[in-house]
Chain A
Amino acid sequence: MGPGPQGGILIVTQTIDRKQVSIRIISYLTLVLGAIISVGPFVWMILGSFKPNVEVMRMPPTFWPQSPSLKNYVTVVESIPFLRYYLNSLFIGVAVTVLALFTSSITGHIFHHHEFKGRTVIFATILATMMIPFQVIMIPLYKVAIDLKLPNTYLGLMLWGPVSTFGIFMMKQFMHSVPMDLIEAARIDGAGHFRIYWQIVLPLIRPALASLGIFVFMGNWDSFMWPLIIVSKTEMRTLPLGLAMFIHQRGVRNDLIMAAATMSVIPVLVVFLSAQRHFVKGITLTGLK
């Protein structure tokens, strides 16, 4: 393999000396150990989900389930509407992501490509809201939601998310990749403002949109505090909330909890493994811009 083009961080010398080999071995060992630590708990979870409670509780623990059974999964599905939680999370996640992508990109576009009075001040004000911790907003926001009769509704669950300050900021940064000349040219050709946004700007920032989309979706998929506040009805729970409530209720049953956790993890895992590259790229782009 040899040190690749980027191999020069730790070692730059082209000759493979002893020091280099030992460093390489150490770094491999570190990586393998780290990978085991990363993945191990999930393996333990999946194995545990096939064991009866007695076996889950046994000391010393068994590694392979002695008589693997799907009983835990059946019990979980019978006691909570797992599919509903899934659909709730999926629906809210997709809706919020689509909305956030639209609002972020169009706002970014307006702020970058249009001159208007108060532009700098408004943008700076919006940007400043990134500093505000959710805790400050959450309590009055809850009151606003109450006044608007939003608890236990999808709209209420989506209240926090369709406009993302971070997204606006990121999109505005990416607008540099859309040359002003192009927009001017389209305008001379008689294209309307929305058409310019839709047909010229959007296609050009597609990679950034994908990254932001993954970022927003992941954040929303895992959001917990706001659903915890705004939802009391079982059928309106999102996946994390439903899972947390299940843990709350069946705390002594680690077998069932592991089955529920596995069920919540596996589909995400499948999506992730099939689109892994995009995930990693998404994080990188959002992280660095």
Chain B
Amino acid sequence: MRRTTVCLVLALMMLLVSSSALAKTTITFWHHSNIAWCDAWEKVVGDFEKEYPDIDVQVEVLPDFGDKVMSAFAAGTEPDVIDMIGSMLLRYAREGLLAEVPEFVMTPAQLNEAFWPVTLESYSFEGKYYGIPFDFNVAGTGVVFNQDLVEMAGLEVPQEWIETRQAGKSWPELANFAKQLGMVDRAGNIMQAGLGMVNDHEHSDFFAMIFQQGGDYRDFENGKVNFETPEARNALQFFLDALERDKLHSIKLPSRFDMFMEQTAAATIGGPWYKGVIDREVEGMRYVRLNLPPFFGSEPKFPVKGGWGLAVSRRTKNPEAAWKFVQFAMRPENMKQWNLTTATVPTYKPFAKDPDFAHEETLDIAEYGVDMGAQLIIDIDQFIWLIVTPEIQAVFHGEKSIDQALKAMTDKTNEMIAKLRR
């Protein structure tokens, strides 16, 4: 009697165990809401679920991505896998909220072998790696021309530029061309911008200008930043000249991104990913994308904040499935598809020679990309959006002098660094 009961219980337990093993594992995955990103991830997730029918990926698209990720980690409601930008990642890695990349996915040596080191800067903390970078998220390495608007101004994008894939040998050549593309109304207001420059990621160009002059704001030795340098001053003055003297764009106009999408800017500085949005949101726009010539000197250096990539929460209940998804997404063929769909610059080294990416802007990343200072500044996101951008814009609005802004930038950043290190 007793034995039969035991047997029954055992059988029941086995049944339960096996049925739970048969049941689907669910992992949650968050990514931000750029329309091209949505397409790219939809494809990856769809393919993944086909290959692993036992794993169900629940995707969440977050338009207020930056706001939500942090509160989700605080609430313990973060997803298992997250497509996070390098500028945010370190903050979480430091607090021990992200899982280390396991050896079976990639060892540190393999990571360094596979990806450009400049992006990995934002993905590592104390020698350990906390995510797989997918792109460079460069903001201002290219110029996009709206060919209809260029032709309406009676011009044409020079053949030579198209052949060399760079919009002029130097900045003045581009600026002179762009000046003829703008339109001003009776009151002197810009109705059509010749070259979109501000209200979107201008911090990136600001940093690029500093680096291109051979300057640097990162003071690794003292664990501080310093913007009170002649190079930074020149950079802001350079910007002011382009806005006020050349009237290429204005801080009082919509962002360069919005204006280009609304076809009120004939050209704009912009990241490669502009293509993803243009193709989906602006019907029938004829455009050409070229590399941006350097603002200063001859080397088109540009800042890198570590692009978007996949990270896994340390508290995930399904680490196996989560990393399986990451592994699947980072297969070269999937990563390539992802990079092409989002029109981002790949950080996977072998793609640098891939002819499919030959038309992409600035693949000489290893040579020209400079890390923004992830290890030094830690919270690059706050640094860019809460400190640097408002200060730069205050100068453009004429509310602060260049020196005041640079001082404020320096002080606020150093204050933040001190606080984060406390």
Chain A residues packing against B (C-beta within 8 Å):
52-54, 57, 142, 145-146, 151-152, 228-229, 232-234, 245-246, 248-253
Contacts and interface: CB of A to CB of B under 8 A. Distances in A.
A196 B294 CA distance: 82
Interface stretch (B70-78, B156-164, B385-393): B70-78
A246 B282 CA distance: 17
Interface residues of B, number: 23
Nearest to B30: A232
B64 A252 contact: no
15 contacts: A57-B263, A145-B75, A151-B71, A151-B75, A232-B71, A232-B72, A232-B77, A233-B60, A234-B60, A245-B63, A245-B64, A248-B63, A249-B61, A252-B258, A252-B282
A102 to B, nearest CB: 30
Nearest to A233: B60
Contacts of B35: 249-250
B179 to A, nearest CB: 22
A151 B61 contact: no
A84 to B, nearest CB: 14
Contacts of A57: 262-263
B33 interface: yes
B68 A232 contact: yes
Interface centre among B64, B75, B261 (most CB of A within 10 A): B75
Contacts, number: 51
Interface of B: 33, 35, 60-64, 68, 71-72, 74-77, 257-258, 261-263, 277, 281-283
A248 B283 contact: no
A270 B63 CA distance: 30
Contacts of A152: 77
Given A229-B71, A252-B258, A234 B77 contact: no
Interface centre among A53, A146, A252 (most CB of B within 10 A): A252
> Would you list the 6 A-B pairs with minimal beta carbon distance, nearest first?
A248-B63, A252-B261, A146-B75, A249-B33, A245-B63, A249-B63
A142 B63 CA distance: 20
A251 B199 CA distance: 14
Contacts of A249: 33, 35, 61, 63
Given A151-B72, A232-B68, 15 more contacts: A146-B76, A151-B71, A234-B61, A245-B33, A245-B63, A246-B63, A248-B33, A249-B35, A249-B63, A251-B258, A252-B258, A252-B261, A252-B262, A252-B277, A252-B282
